[in-house]
Structure 1
Amino acid sequence: MKNLSLLALMLFLGLTQPALAQEISTKKLINNHFKAIEKYKTLDIEDESMEQFIMRGTMAVGEIKNIPLTITYWKSHARMEMEFMGAKMIQVSNDSISWTKDPFAKGYTFEKEDGDVDALGFDETKAYDLKELIELAGWEPLEVKETVLDSLEVYELMIKTKASDLNDIESDLTYSFYFEKDTYFMIGVSHDDVYSLSLNYDVIDNILLPTVYLSISEEDGVMRMDISEYDFETSIDAALFEMTQEVREAYSAHLQAEKSKTSEPSPIQVLFEEGVSLLGEKKYDDAIKKFNKALEINANDNIVLNRRGLAKLYSGDTYGAIADFGRAMELADSTEYPTLYNNLGLAKYYLGDYKGARADYEKALAADSFNINYNQNMGLLMFRFDDYEGVDKYYSRAIAIDSTVGKSYYHRAIGRAELGKYEEAYADYVKAGELGVDLAEYHNYKAVTLYRLERYSEAGEAVQAAIERDSTNNQYYYNLAEIYEVNEEYNKAVEQYNHLLRRDSTLHRVYAARALAYWELSLMKAARADIDKAISMSPESAVYYDYRAYIKEEAGDYTGAIEDYTSSLNLEQDANIYYRRGLAKINISNKFDACTDFKKAAELGNEDGKQALSEHCKL
């Protein structure tokens, strides 16, 4: 949910335009707030009575909701645990360092603790103490307004900032603080489209505690914590905040890696990085040369072999890529197998070995099912098997892992459209567009789904958007013409067909389609000329004979229509065409042969044929 617009933020919050200010001054509001909270304690981890406690609840980040969450505080230490898709993420921090075990990243990450400052610039140990901000930091209250936050009527106090050592905030900025109108509790603060809200206060042991935390910004989207329990009584084990042997080993490796970054890079590292840069610039041959030189220094560097394999793959040397990936697999440790299996699968996909690609992708996913790229690749492969349920499954997994990637919604939309789930497909197309997908083919696919939903005007707009982005694709013009036809705008359809035939006069299906448009316009001579042209160019297309038969019937030439229906049926058995030929035979009083056609149509399941058999062929 990155890149939220201001409008989207306002819709989420339910912010309305300010009403007329109530008769309350800034001074009175601040005094009422101080009075309201003076009998309570507020959450302060520096207060000895609150130096250890546990918060339990759920978290929602973007579209991923109901993530079980536990946060344990002990003196200056904190431990957060979250469960997601059967995996547990753990983050521990103390005065000097924090470490995170991320099951999706397959390892630990470490960060130095430089003090807790939130996105609004507040020091989290002093964050929103209004008395300190006004009396010690010298912030200046400006005005009070009435506002609505998500249906909750609140006071909005606007304050001008002044820089101080209390928080990392510049002078002369305007911050908004929000207060419940009934209780005068502070429920949040905002500045520059970043919001931090604490809602639904409870009192436990005389401590004023919010049960809902919201953090909202355009950059990071929406994060929400719903706290179901605060526990100040539990005895907390200090060992929860200590590094295990596994963490110590990972931290040692982290320190070694950090140290190596400051060291002079080796010749092989320089060549490798130059090759990676060229690979990113799509200069594949030059990248391969750099990787070759690196491998002259160490022929058994599996990392270099893997990247050279990718360069070969993208340059068209698929077999060479497979050889490099295979050699890298022999040299790599097990942690690198998922990446190599994925790359092998990709190479086999390019070769058209879809079964082989599937086997390799399955191995990659068995080792790391939370990798978005592996799920996306498997989802794309499922199109080759016409397994649209599989497309939905793997792209849904990719979206659960990262809901900000537009192409996942785009491909899932295509799969859902193939399953006939047009409403769901359209919703995915809209989401993909919001996330930046703007390909010509995206607009065309969306148009097809809108067409299936009988939203023809919007379908036409989507196809025109596709044409604006790629005016060379004949299919887009053809689709636009079909939309005009369903809207009975036959002249506009003819214009599109004319345009296509000026570009390529060998398009027999365009002649056939234009013939039907001319027929609807009662331009029978032009319609006949076009369908004759289509048949001469593609005499094996049964449907063209059907079209010409319709035109002949319109002109009263039933004998000619019967001939074309017969040509069509010689190429392709069709119950409806038997029925139509039977009707033509009725029109020339050939009842016996007509009944034979009606019988054949009925045997093939055509209901009109059954009715005609009953009506015209009574025994």
Structure 2
Amino acid sequence: YYNLKEYRSALVDLNKVLISDTGLIEAYLYRGLVHQHLNNYTFAEGDMDHYISRKPADESALLCRAGLHNDMEEYLKEVQDYDAYLEMHPTEAAVISYRANAWNELDSFDKSLNDYNTCIRLEPVNYQYVLGKGNLYFDFEKYTEAIDQYNLYLLTDPSNKEARLNRADAKLNSKQSEDALEDYALLVAAEPQNGDYLFYRGFCYMQLSADTASNLFSNYSALAEKDFSAALDNGYRDIPKILLFRGLVRNNLSHNPEACMDFKKSAELGNKEAKDYFLKNCGE
């Protein structure tokens, strides 16, 4: 049942097994995993704790419980599980990277950075750790350092969309809008019907329209309007937000009836900022 992902049926069978023989210790671990899949986290933790207390040398169980603690957003407990595992396998870079992610969730920048640096030292040809280090810098708004890591990663994997998107976002956040636009444009060229990429490029055009001289203002605003419309047509999910942004660029282009329509629709979908713009620019 577990392999078939029929977790409720698996739980029924495991309960029967443990009623008949509480000494089958492995059944507690399996039942804990089933509870985890069913989002019964308290029961899952209890079963895994019981199993590990009886078999503390089972290192794979420590990783299972670490994954559970990640699902529970109990990141300090997750770190403690990785610590216990790494006492037995101190050079396992993958697990060190998992701990780096947990430190990041705990806002422990220095500890997370130290773990990523250790991963890179242990496996210098595994550039996923470089990407992870870049994401850490990004999360802590250290955009220049993040861009450096993304640059390094993209030298080895120039088609990686995650790294390119993250680099574009880092550039945009560090006021390098024109450089960011190049990355967004490459993403759209690779997937011209990706609503998310169209939105990001449209937002970059919107930023450029605010940052550039008046002779380029309308050009960038028009390009932003076009991308926002295309993003809507291609399934961009946050409809209230994109309607607000399209309304703003349409308002900048003096397309007032269309702007008011976007503000109104966005407000009807619960966007309070759009409601304020509608009342300010469009009347009651």
Question: Which band: TM-score by shorter chain?
Answer: 0.7 to 0.9
Of the three residues 202, 212, 225, the one matched with 1:562 is 225
Map 1:176-195 → 2, pairs under 5 A: none
Q: How far apart, in 2, do the equivalents of 1:498 and 1:362 lie?
A: 52
**Does structure 2 retain, via aligned residues, the 8 Å contact 1:370–1:401?**
no
**Does structure 2 retain, via aligned residues, the 8 Å contact 1:442–1:466?**
no
* TM-score after normalising by structure 1: 0.39
**Does structure 2 retain, via aligned residues, the 8 Å contact 1:508–1:538?**
no
Q: Secondary structure in 2 aligned to 1:555?
A: helix
* TM-score after normalising by structure 2: 0.78
Shift of 1:438: 5.5
Specify the alignment match of 1:593 in structure 2.
258
Shift of 1:480: 1.2
Specify the alignment match of 1:496 in structure 2.
149
Specify the alignment match of 2:28 in structure 1.
375
Letter in 2 for 1:489: K
- Taking a change above 3 Å as real, the CA distance of residues 598 and 401 of structure 1, as seen in their structure-2 partners, is farther
**Does structure 2 retain, via aligned residues, the 8 Å contact 1:365–1:371?**
yes
Shift of 1:533: 0.9
Letter in 2 for 1:355: E
CA deviations over 1:21-62 (Å, ceiling 9, x no partner): xxxxxxxxxxxxxxxxxxxxxxxxxxxxxxxxxxxxxxxxxx
Specify the alignment match of 2:272 in structure 1.
607
Of the three residues 355, 358, 362, the one matched with 2:6 is 355
Q: How far apart, in 2, do the equivalents of 1:472 and 1:541 lie?
A: 31
CA deviations over 1:165-210 (Å, ceiling 9, x no partner): xxxxxxxxxxxxxxxxxxxxxxxxxxxxxxxxxxxxxxxxxxxxxx
Shift of 1:606: 2.9
**Does structure 2 retain, via aligned residues, the 8 Å contact 1:515–1:526?**
yes
Consecutive unaligned residues of structure 2, counting only runs of 5 or more, are 210-219
| 2:236 is aligned with 1:572 | yes
Of the three residues 511, 516, 527, the one matched with 2:180 is 527
Q: How far apart, in 2, do the equivalents of 1:492 and 1:438 lie?
A: 26
Q: How far apart, in 2, do the equivalents of 1:472 and 1:369 lie?
A: 47
More strand by share: 1
Of the three residues 54, 73, 80, the one matched with 1:420 is 73
Q: For this pair of structures, how many residues does the alignment match? A: 270
Specify the alignment match of 1:289 in structure 2.
none
Specify the alignment match of 1:452 in structure 2.
105
- The two structures, once aligned, show a CA RMSD in angstroms of 3.1
Map 1:313-352 → 2, pairs under 5 A: 349=3
Shift of 1:437: 6.7
**Does structure 2 retain, via aligned residues, the 8 Å contact 1:446–1:459?**
yes
Letter in 2 for 1:612: Y
CA deviations over 1:225-284 (Å, ceiling 9, x no partner): xxxxxxxxxxxxxxxxxxxxxxxxxxxxxxxxxxxxxxxxxxxxxxxxxxxxxxxxxxxx
Letter in 1 for 2:113: G
Specify the alignment match of 1:581 in structure 2.
246
More helix by share: 2
Specify the alignment match of 2:92 in structure 1.
439
Shift of 1:386: 5.7
Of the three residues 515, 520, 542, the one matched with 2:168 is 515
**Does structure 2 retain, via aligned residues, the 8 Å contact 1:484–1:490?**
yes
Q: How far apart, in 1, do the equivalents of 2:278 and 2:23 lie?
A: 61
**Does structure 1 retain, via aligned residues, the 8 Å contact 2:184–2:197?**
yes
Q: How far apart, in 2, do the equivalents of 1:563 and 1:569 lie?
A: 10
Shift of 1:555: 1.6
Q: How far apart, in 1, do the equivalents of 2:40 and 2:122 lie?
A: 30
- Taking a change above 3 Å as real, the CA distance of residues 355 and 427 of structure 1, as seen in their structure-2 partners, is same
Q: How far apart, in 2, do the equivalents of 1:367 and 1:439 lie?
A: 39
Shift of 1:383: 5.3
Q: How far apart, in 1, do the equivalents of 2:145 and 2:188 lie?
A: 24
Q: Secondary structure in 1 aligned to 2:181?
A: helix
